[in-house]
């Protein structure tokens, strides 16, 4: 009995000593390990996931100005966070490849980094080839930045035409599964695109501590007259007005169209909505409806085409 007590005392002393001698963790490290998120996974965990799924979400991101209140990494961070939320509800790997996207029309704002469409497609195709080698086969391309839309369509086609992989654009895939928002709508529609109320709301939910609402400033916009005249029809959802408006709007300064972000906006925000109307609740509603629709699509794809 005495010996047992002594052993216990020794064990307690040793544990206390170890605790006091422990090196404190990096004070900047606050990330929690996230399931199915490739950068956090070990090789055995990737092997194990491969026994359950052959699907990968690849967010196609951007590092670009987002007004005075949102971080440069908004699109990268929000895209990755959405993908992680999907991967907690159904088995799919989340594999971010690049932080940077195509953003030449934001280049007058410091911090923006822009790559050519060719480079972005090439890098992602090579990444897909790596993942194919390990047994992943189906790729869900999650576009996190409007300016990457054509790149995503082209990347999906290149994967499908040139590799053993099978790819879809996630936005297109989830569209039939989306449910309408149940939140009360504002009375009138206002022009709200880049870094506006909608993107600020998403960020307030997905990356709250990086949003500087104290710095949020509603922009004054200077669109070319003929574009400004189209805005009411664009807001009404007229598809032709929308098509020709976006064909010309937000283009690099050197195109001479006078529609780069700095040429059209005092702050870099392309929208005139009151940023104070942004809310985490609206962001949560949008993110949850996206995640639910993505999970439904993935489950349906799994049943339509089981993993080999």
Site for Zn ion, rule CB under 5 A:
74-75
Nearer to Zn ion, 72 or 121 (CB): 72
Nearer to Zn ion, 97 or 125 (CB): 97
Distance of CA 275 to the CA centre of its chain: 20
Q: CB 195 → Zn ion: shortest distance, Å?
A: 6
Separation in Å, CA 182 to CA 179, 203, 289, 292: 9, 20, 10, 14
Nearer to Zn ion, 36 or 74 (CB): 74
Nearer to Zn ion, 41 or 144 (CB): 144
Q: CB 224 → Zn ion: shortest distance, Å?
A: 22
Task: Give the residue carrying structure tokens 């410091």.
Answer: 110
Nearer to Zn ion, 75 or 192 (CB): 75
Q: CB 83 → Zn ion: shortest distance, Å?
A: 15
Q: CB 101 → Zn ion: shortest distance, Å?
A: 10
Nearer to Zn ion, 195 or 223 (CB): 195
Q: CB 66 → Zn ion: shortest distance, Å?
A: 6
Structure tokens of 80? 């990755």
Q: How far apart are CA 128 and CA 276, in angstroms?
A: 41
Q: CB 199 → Zn ion: shortest distance, Å?
A: 5
Q: CB 187 → Zn ion: shortest distance, Å?
A: 26
Structure tokens of 243? 């098509």
Nearer to Zn ion, 74 or 143 (CB): 74
Q: How far apart are CA 22 and CA 251, in angstroms?
A: 54
């Amino acid at each position: 009995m005495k010996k047992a007590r002594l052993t216990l005392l020794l064990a307690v002393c040793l544990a206390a000593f170890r605790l006091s001698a422990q090196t404190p963790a990096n004070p900047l490290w606050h990330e929690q390990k996230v399931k199915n998120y490739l950068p956090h996974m070990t090789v055995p965990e990737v092997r194990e996931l491969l026994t359950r799924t052959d699907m990968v979400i690849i967010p196609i991101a951007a590092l670009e100005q987002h007004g005075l209140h949102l971080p440069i990494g908004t699109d990268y961070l929000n895209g990755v966070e959405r993908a992680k939320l999907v991967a907690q509800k159904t088995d799919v790997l989340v594999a971010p490849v690049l932080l940077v996207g195509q953003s030449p029309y934001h280049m007058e704002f410091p911090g923006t980094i822009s790559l050519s469409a060719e480079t972005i497609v090439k890098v992602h195709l090579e990444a897909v080839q790596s993942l194919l080698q390990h047994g992943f086969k189906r790729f869900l391309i999650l576009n996190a930045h409007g300016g990457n839309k054509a790149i995503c369509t082209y990347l999906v086609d290149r994967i499908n035409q040139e590799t053993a992989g099978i790819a879809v654009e996630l936005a297109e895939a989830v569209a039939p599964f989306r449910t309408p928002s149940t939140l009360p709508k504002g009375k009138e529609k206002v022009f709200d695109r880049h870094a506006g109320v909608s993107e600020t709301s998403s960020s307030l939910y997905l990356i709250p501590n990086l949003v500087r609402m104290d710095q949020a400033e509603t922009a004054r916009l200077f669109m070319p007259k003929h574009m400004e005249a189209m805005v009411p029809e664009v807001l009404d959802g007229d598809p032709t007005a929308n098509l020709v408006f976006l064909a010309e709007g937000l283009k690099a300064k050197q195109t001479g169209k006078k529609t780069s972000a700095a040429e059209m906006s005092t702050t870099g925000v392309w929208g005139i909505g009151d940023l104070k109307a942004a809310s985490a609740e609206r962001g949560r509603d949008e993110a949850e409806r996206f995640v639910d629709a993505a999970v439904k699509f993935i489950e349906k794809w799994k049943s339509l085409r089981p993993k080999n």
